[in-house]
Structure 1
């Protein structure tokens, strides 16, 4: 059995207006190599862009990997580390307050693209001294400007 390659991933999303034009940024690092990915849309939210960044990062991997995803999105990290996503699914995509979970389409897509990988979630503080998080933040902001 071969050992899965470890990929370090930093993701971020940005939105001007929330909702409004938004962008996402990704930094993939493995084996001394780096790759940046960006994209966006003209009518979105910050949470959707944060989620899209994770999805696009995972979709960019061409083999099953151990993926260490660094995100400043407490929503995404907590959804997985605190088991919220499992509870939402058990309740038919409803939160504890019985209201529907927002962005179900992206949560479902994220779960699907995660399947081949071993994903580890790492919460980072946004807009602080983390150079790689600041880098993907800048990528996301720059991408959002293309849709304004």
Structure 2
């Protein structure tokens, strides 16, 4: 059985307060996750949503499809850009801290990335958008250490 992970990120200003929303679907089981950050970017929240979704998994070797409306995340992985960045030590690339956190999680499973159109007719993506924007607006923020230490 495939695990479906829907993700979305949001930022109020870029940078600004941000958040992510995640919906994990395993058969009939559903789990929602979200978190806000006081200062971050949209791309960081899109990527952090994927990372957090994978970090919640307690077993290795799962068939996982990650649905996201982030071309940045999908193209970086599916077009192989990420592996080129690894070879160059992420020279002149943003979000190295998150990408290096993502790679071992990605390698633990059989992950496929699936782009979905944002703010469209996909109810699961729309729910993740709601969770992400609520988290960004919540005032209950964590500190995005990777972003704030670089900026």
In the superposition, the TM-score normalised over structure 1's length comes to: 0.90
Map 1:1-148 → 2, pairs under 5 A? 5-64=1-60, 65-94=62-91, 100-147=92-139
Displacement of 1:46 in angstroms is 0.5
Distance in 1 (CA, whole Å) between partners of 2:63 and 2:98 is: 21
**3-state SS, counterpart of residue 63 of structure 2:** strand
Q: Which runs of 5+ in 1 are unaligned?
A: 95-99
Query: Could you give the per-residue CA deviations for residues 32-88 of structure 1, whole angstroms, max 9, x where no partner exists?
Result: 110000012101111111111001100011102111000000010001110101111
Distance in 1 (CA, whole Å) between partners of 2:139 and 2:50 is: 20
Segments ≥4 residues shifted beyond 6 Å = none
Which residue number in structure 2 is paired with residue 97 of structure 1?
Answer: none
CA RMSD of aligned residues (A): 1.1
Number of aligned residue pairs: 139
In the superposition, the TM-score normalised over structure 2's length comes to: 0.88
Q: Which runs of 5+ in 2 are unaligned?
A: 141-151
